Amino acid sequence: MNMLYVRCGARLAFFSAGVLSAITTGLTPWAASQSIWALVAFRFLQGVAYSADFAAIGIVISKWAPLDETAVFISTLTSFTSISSIITNGVSGVICESHLGWKWSFYFHAAACLAVFIIWALVYKDDPTLHKSVSAKELGKIQRNKSESHIKDDMEIPYVKIFTSPVVLTVWLCAFTELSTLILIATYAPIYFRSVLGFDIKIIGFYLGLMLAIHLPFRFVCAFLSDKTKCISEISKIHIFNTLAVGCVGISFIVFSQIPAEHNISAVVCLAVLECFTSFNCGGFYKCGTLHARQFSSIVISAIQFTKCISLFSGPALVAFFVTDETNQIQWSYVFFVLAGFTFLANILSFIFFTDQPAKWTEDGGVVKYSKKKEIVKI
């Protein structure tokens, strides 16, 4: 997918992924009526389309985000998972209970997907210097302190250097540990809430939905603080935010594992606090990877999506290994402690390797003040 983005640009590649998603979603009811293998094939194609998301985020940040607004862009663009879950669950519930039936949920989402991606193709441009709505002043802000190689983006991609960079590898480890905890919560929290904490099944969905939504506004506050706080150096902010997003998530997991059933509301609060801690990732490992990889940040961020895919297996594997009795809190605590240990390791490594400086493999020119219509001014 990254190679497609490099060859064709985000405008065409992301639009193509959106069309593929719309078509496969609209035909899913038909596939379900044919056979299980037809349904699996369509789900596979939807996964192919989904693989374009994080690469698009990296491209948009690299091309359009001023360096001093990186966290705000990251926070906004990576909030799509939570927002889409809230919208989809609500809309699907209404449609499925109406006279239209469950099939129209797929038809509605397919139509909305196609409409949104048509808007994307009409509005987005791969190069801000060629966008008619971007003034010279705004372009100067977008390109301030970026190198000529970052703006021109015509360097050969150094895949080997990217995939062997200690900074990038640590970014991916931090992302993997944090995403593993989130996916474990999303997958097994209903079981844990019912079997260990003794919640009624009817109230579990409400609490989980509340935890999913509560961190969204907090996420934008964190991004604003990361970009606009000037009394602390950039690298110090990255370390602070990453510790909150990764290390404190591990601490919250340990605390959560020790809360007994008679204090189950405290467990809900603890999990909500954990979700809020993850909001700091936009100013932590995400920002470090973007500032370090610059014009190649799409590769770094899209690989975070790959770590998310791996975490879909690692969490269930830990549960399968440690948990034989779903009502046994001690067995669940082993899972939480293992994940917490990995978050602590990732956080320690971040203090060793993280930087706010661009990698040497991103540079081949001077620093650009601003440019318009291919006019490059070096300082």
State the Cα–Cα distance between residues 340 and 320, nearest whole angstrom. Answer: 18
State the Cα–Cα distance between residues 55 and 302, nearest whole angstrom. Answer: 5
- Give me the mean pLDDT over the 5-20 stretch: 89
- Give me the mean pLDDT over the 181-210 stretch: 81
pLDDT tens-digit readout, 164-192: 999 999 999 999 999 898 888 888 888 88
pLDDT at 368 over 50: no
**Pairing of β 146-147 and β 375-378:** unpaired
pLDDT tens-digit readout, 34-75: 999 999 999 999 989 988 888 888 888 888 888 888 888 888
pLDDT at 338 over 90: yes
pLDDT tens-digit readout, 230-252: 889 999 999 999 999 999 999 99
Name the pTM for this structure: 0.81
State the Cα–Cα distance between residues 339 and 246, nearest whole angstrom. Answer: 11
pLDDT at 358 over 80: yes
Beta bridge partners of 158: none
User: Mean pLDDT across the chain, nearest whole number?
Assistant: 86
- Smallest CA-to-CA distance from 191 within 208, 176, 177 is with 208
Query: What was the pLDDT predicted at 379?
Result: 40
State the Cα–Cα distance between residues 314 and 311, nearest whole angstrom. Answer: 5
Q: What are phi and psi of 250, to 5 degrees?
A: -65, -40
* Run of H or E residues at 296: none
Report the Cα 276 to chain-centroid distance in Å.
Answer: 15
* Helix locations, 279-328, DSSP H: 285-293, 297-322
pLDDT tens-digit readout, 277-317: 988 999 999 999 999 998 888 888 888 888 888 888 888 89
